[in-house]
Amino acid sequence: GESVGLHLPTLSVQEGDNSIINCAYSNSASDYFIWYKQESGKGPQFIIDIRSNMDKRQGQRVTVLLNKTVKHLSLQIAATQPGDSAVYFCAENRDSNSGYALNFGKGTSLLVTP
């Protein structure tokens, strides 16, 4: 079946730098995308989401960009902090037959160094 994937499994950035985490998706029918952050020992927590009628959405220190032409999604974190160290998952929505479940990528581990 179609799947969501990530370009890089790990990313190391210096504190204060900007981080960019990338995600490729292959289901052209998906119209909702979401990023989760998972800290060690915790469940995934919502960061930001975007619908396919938009190409950019901003939150607090985070921005999600959607490029439907190349089926690419990215998460940008500004002024990365040690507390941003976590695994980040992108996900896309599935159809109504799955109860609108989400299909997840494999995750990218972000490590913020001092």
Partner 1 sequence: DVKVTQSSRYLVKRTGEKVFLECVQDMDHENMFWYRQDPGLGLRLIYFSYDVKMKEKGDIPEGYSVSREKKERFSLILESASTNQTSMYLCASSPPGLRNEKLFFGSGTQLSVL
Among 19, 21, 25, 44, binds partner 1 (CB under 8 A): 44
Question: How far apart are CB 9 and partner 1 at their closest, in Å?
Answer: 8
- Tell me the torsion sign for CA atoms 19, 61, 75, 103: positive
* Nearest of 40, 27, 38, 21 to residue 101 by alpha carbon: 27
Pairing of strands 62-67, 56-58: antiparallel
Residue 59 tokens, joined: 């939150």
**C-beta of 43 vs 114, nearer to partner 1:** 43
Question: Is 22 a residue that touches partner 1 (CB under 8 A)?
Answer: no
What angle is formed at CA 18 by the lines to CA 23 and CA 47, rounded to 5 degrees?
A: 55
Identify which range of 11-19, 33-41, 55-63, 70-78 contacts partner 1 by CB under 8 A.
33-41
Binders of partner 1: how many residues, by CB under 8 A?
A: 26
Looking at the Cβ atoms of 50 and 77, the one nearer to partner 1 is 50
Contact between 89 and partner 1 per CB under 8 A: yes
Q: How distant is the alpha carbon of residue 45 from its chain centre? A: 11
Q: Which residues bind partner 1 (CB under 8 A)?
A: 1, 9, 32, 34, 36, 41-46, 49, 89, 91, 93, 96, 98-107
